[in-house]
């Protein structure tokens, strides 16, 4: 009951946030140089042709009328008609969202898979050579720009050692995992660098806690103490870091999808901005905002599950 009440409250809070996001995206697109009609018609379009197309697209109306028309399309779920694709924006976003969700989900799983063992090894060997090696390895990985690291990964594991495809999305579950592993790994390196540092610090603090010494004094096995008392209590802050960074990753997929040619929301956003496809860009902005809010909601729920003292 408390969980449903919490989710309902967050969904209500989402309404003014989304309205503000749609307004900002709407106004920012209008201040960009150029207009869709000119881009569509090209150099052959006359002044009369451009004016006629602007009327057909509804771009000749006052800004407030265009904005409220967009809000009406959002309520209907269509998000308007794409200028470039000549189809409803909503279904096209849903079609492309699956690729982005798979990329973000796989990168999160890889980051978690790297975080727990590396953080444990680093914390249990604090100050030793292996601890310094782990810190240096992931600081270097985090410092490299995503597009540059992606290009290096393509050169190393797609061209020099052809283990993964250069680009594309694949067909079928296994083929898609094969295509998405390399871009997901690039994203996961930056995520793991933050979560390893967070979890390592928490592990070191918890290892010196009194209740851990009490658990050891009771004769519990070292593995039981480590997994049940140390690791679980250390995950609290790391969950928050992972949730915040995953929200950032949703927007960061624009770069990775462009580098690896993944037909997701980020790749669609880049092409839509270049074409001044106002309805598509506005719809994608709302979609990214919803994804960020959902990730934050899931983070809060996971936080409460990991720590029963936290009340929703």
Query: 261 and 134: one domain?
Result: yes
**Residue 43 pLDDT level (bands cut at 50, 70, 90):** low
Average pLDDT value for residue range 76-99? 83
Of the candidates 302, 292, 189, the one whose C-alpha atom is nearest the C-alpha of residue 240 is 302
Q: Which domain holds residue 199?
A: 96-306
Domain boundary among 37, 68, 89: 89
Tens-place pLDDT, residues 199-220:
888 888 877 777 776 777 777 7
Please check whether residue 294 lies inside any domain of the structure. yes
Query: 302 and 283: one domain?
Result: yes
Query: 270 and 121: one domain?
Result: yes
Chain-centroid distance of CA 236 in Å reads: 21
Domain boundary among 66, 89, 112: 89
Tens-place pLDDT, residues 164-205:
887 777 777 788 888 888 888 888 888 888 888 888 888 888
Please check whether residue 31 lies inside any domain of the structure. yes
Domain boundary among 56, 89, 122: 89
Q: How many distinct structural domains can be found in the chain? A: 2
CA angle 97, 100, 106 (to 5 degrees): 135
Please check whether residue 4 lies inside any domain of the structure. no
Query: Is 3 exposed, middle or buried, given 0-12, 13-18 or 19+ CB atoms closer than 10 A?
Result: exposed
């Amino acid at each position: 009951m408390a969980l449903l009440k919490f989710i309902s409250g967050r969904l209500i809070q989402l309404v003014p946030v989304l309205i503000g996001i749609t307004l900002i995206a709407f106004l920012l697109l209008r201040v960009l140089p150029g207009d869709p009609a000119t881009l569509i018609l090209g150099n052959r379009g006359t002044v009369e042709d451009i004016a006629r197309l602007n009327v057909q697209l509804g771009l000749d109306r006052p800004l407030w009328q265009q904005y409220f028309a967009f809000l009406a399309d959002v309520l209907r779920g269509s998000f308007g008609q794409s200028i470039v694709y000549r189809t409803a924006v909503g279904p096209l976003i849903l079609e492309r969202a699956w690729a982005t969700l798979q990329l973000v989900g796989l990168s999160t799983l890889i980051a978690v898979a790297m975080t727990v063992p590396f953080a444990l090894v680093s914390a249990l060997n604090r100050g030793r050579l292996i601890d310094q090696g782990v810190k240096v390895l992931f600081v270097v990985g985090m410092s490299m720009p995503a597009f540059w690291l992606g290009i290096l990964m393509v050169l190393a594991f797609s061209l020099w050692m052809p283990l993964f495809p250069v680009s594309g999305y694949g067909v079928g579950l296994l083929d898609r995992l094969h295509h998405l592993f390399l871009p997901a790994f690039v994203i996961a390196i930056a995520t793991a660098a933050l979560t390893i540092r967070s979890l390592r610090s928490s592990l070191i603090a918890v290892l010196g806690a009194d209740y851990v010494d009490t658990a050891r004094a009771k004769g519990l096995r070292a593995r039981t103490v480590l997994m049940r008392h140390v690791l679980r209590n250390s995950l609290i802050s790391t969950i928050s870091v992972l949730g915040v960074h995953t929200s950032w990753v949703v927007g960061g997929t624009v770069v990775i999808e462009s580098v690896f040619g993944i037909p997701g929301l980020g790749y669609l956003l880049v092409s839509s901005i270049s074409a001044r496809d106002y309805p598509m860009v506005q719809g994608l902005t709302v979609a990214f905002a919803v994804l960020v809010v959902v990730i934050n909601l899931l983070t809060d729920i996971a936080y409460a599950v990991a720590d029963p003292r936290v009340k929703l």
